[in-house]
Each structure stands twice: as C-alpha cells, then as structure tokens.
Amino acid sequence: MARETVLTPEGLKELKAKIDHLSGERRREVAERIKEAREFGDISENAEYDDAKNEQAMLEHKIAQLEERLSNARVIQKRDVDLSVVSVGAKVKLRDVDAKRTDEYFIVGSAEANPAELKLSNESPVGKAIIGKKKGETVEVSTPRGSLKYKILDIAAA
C-alpha cells in the first residue's frame, strides 16, 4: 500500500502542474533528443542515444512517482484545519526559546516541505514535535545539532 500524501490545495495545484510539464513539454524534448540521436547512425555505439534513452527512463520514472503521489493525495481544505492545535494546513508562530527568535511556519505534508519558504513538514523533527500541541505550549525537539526549545505563540489559518 502506498503512503498517503497530505497536500494543501496549493500543493495539489503545484503537483498537477509539475506532472503536466513533465508529461507534456519535457516528454517532447526527450523524444526529440532520441530522434536526433538516432539520426547520428549506428545506435549500438551511440553515446548520445544511450544518454537520451536514460533520460527518458528517468523522466518516465519521475512522472510515475508523481502520478502515484497524486493518486494517494489527501487534500487538506482550509475549513477542515483545526486551529485549536497545530495541524497540517495551519500557520504557526514559533519562538526559539534559546535563540530568542520568532518565525512563522506553514505546516505542510512532506511532499510540499520547503524550509527556504518556511514550509515545515509534519514529518520533520520540529513538525512532529508540534503537531497536536496547543498555543502557549513549549516543546523540546532533538535535532542533529542538539536540543531546541520552541514555544507555540500562535496558530492561525494559512
């Protein structure tokens, strides 16, 4: 059984767009590379052809992975997000107790996680620690760099 993929509506839209791009434009580009490589003559000793065929295999694998993720997707609607506790689809204001720094994170499923955009996975160490916790609670998170303490300042709709 494939793992369920938790997505926000935005994540679902991005996933569909990526599949469309790969199965449309990218597939045509790779097919064109294969066609051009075939025109170089003997394909048994044609590195360009082998490279293009490998690229095609990797592309098809990636498309299949994304389509499987889409078929196992559970979309979290904003109206379904429980704001009494930290959950996927919520925006959470966290205070790093030791660093005395506050950041606002959007809690998303692992498929959408992007720390640079402050999109925190529900499966990351911090995500796991804060899921289900209430505003005002302090959690301790074990990370490779040591233990961190976060206070949950606010939980809001994303």
| CA distance linking residue 128 with residue 138, whole number of Å | 13
> Terminus-to-terminus CA distance in the chain, angstroms?
31
At 2 the pLDDT is 63
- Which residue in the block uniquely carries the two structure tokens 């796991």? 128
**pLDDT tens for residues 37-73?**
888 777 777 788 899 999 999 999 999 999 999 999 9
Residue 139: pLDDT band (50, 70, 90) is very high
CA distance 38 to 49: 6
What confidence score (pLDDT) does residue 146 get? 87
**Contact 35/103 with Cβ under 8 angstroms?**
no
Q: Indicate the pLDDT class of residue 143, thresholds 50, 70 and 90.
A: confident
Q: What is the pLDDT of residues 102-136, one digit of tens each?
A: 999 999 998 899 989 999 999 999 999 999 999 99
d(CA 158, CA 152): 16
Helix %, strand %, coil % for the chain, to 5? 45, 25, 25
Rounded average pLDDT over 86-115: 92
| Angular region, 128: left φ>0, alpha ψ -120 to 50, beta rest | alpha
Does the pLDDT at position 1 exceed 70? no
b (16+ CB within 10 A) / e for 88-124: bbbbbebbeeeeeeeeebbbbbebbbeeeeebbbbeb
User: Per residue in 16-44, pLDDT tens?
Assistant: 999 999 999 999 999 999 998 888 777 77
Q: Which two tokens stand for residue 91?
A: 């925006």
